Amino acid sequence: MSPPSVTASPAPAVPDLAAVVYEHRHSVGMEVARRPGAVTGPWTPSWTPEEHAAAVQAVREAIARGDVYVVNLVGHASAPFSGDPREALARLAGLPGAKYGGVLHGDDWWVASASPETLVEVAGGRVTTRPIKGTRPATPEGRAELLASAKERAEHVMIVDLERNDLGRVARTGSVRVDELFAIRRWSGLWQAESTVSAELRDGVGLAELLAAVWPGGSVTGAPKRAAVEVAGRLEPVGRGPSMGAFGWIGHDHTGRASVDLGLSIRTAAISANRAHLWAGGGIVWDSDPRAEVAEAAAKTAPLKRALSGGRAAG
């Protein structure tokens, strides 16, 4: 499920919503041998580092005017891709820390997720979200720097407050709580800060109401959410496509109660029309350094580019 966007997606063949219905049955088939695919040329960004930095500065100016507190800016890059995508996308979906790792495809499109982030989970009548904000290299120095960063913590807490408000729209009164704040987790070669926010789900809340409350995810929009989406939509070079949406499953538990587990489709790739597409974003606050934000986006896409290039360094 893709997020709303006013800008056209660079991978228009990928649908806004794809659903797979699973049946419990036994089948035996034979895979047809295909030539393994990989990225075959350089990555072309949809904005230059200078344009990305200028967009960061534009967000800072919007913050100075009082329009927003934080905005998540998302960039995009694409590269020529040749051959069968499934092996490359399986590598991507299997990256360390990919809680929501998987592949979907249609007749002329493929999407893979290596997301570590929970958009919304419902189990046993409790609803949970786990926003991620704050990234550093997975080194001892990087972990210490992330823990000590007042900027990252302030940005993170703003998004946690936003998620508390989102869950409050579908929760029993007084049941919203922050179970864990600013915990450091590892995804591939990066440290990331994650919090857990949960609540008791109010009786009678259906899937449509639940998704209306939490989607699009606060960590990929900003705060206030509607104003942040409007600012990002003006500045981002292309549409977000299948990235920054939702990837997971909806079903029932053993008691017949509704059960949902949807990841936020960050760390996501699409392949269509012989091109691979990647998106990466970061939250911008008043004291964001434009050069550091450009570097952070590059760090987030680097493991995805290696996976799609067969483990080789990718330009």
Q: Is 225 noted as a catalytic residue in this protein?
A: no
Q: Single out the catalytic residue among 31, 51, 117, 180.
A: 117
Bridge partners, 270 (sequence order): 111, 277
User: One-letter amino acid identity for 105?
Assistant: H
Q: Single out the catalytic residue among 133, 152, 194, 300.
A: 133
- Give the residue from 304, 292, 290, 218 showing the smallest Cα distance to 53: 290
Q: Is 133 noted as a catalytic residue in this protein?
A: yes
Instruction: Locate 121 and state its tokens.
Output: 């989970």
Q: Which residues does 308 contact at the CB level (< 8 Å), separation at least 6?
A: 38, 39, 79, 81, 88, 89, 91, 92, 269, 276, 278, 314
| Residue numbers annotated as active site | 117, 133
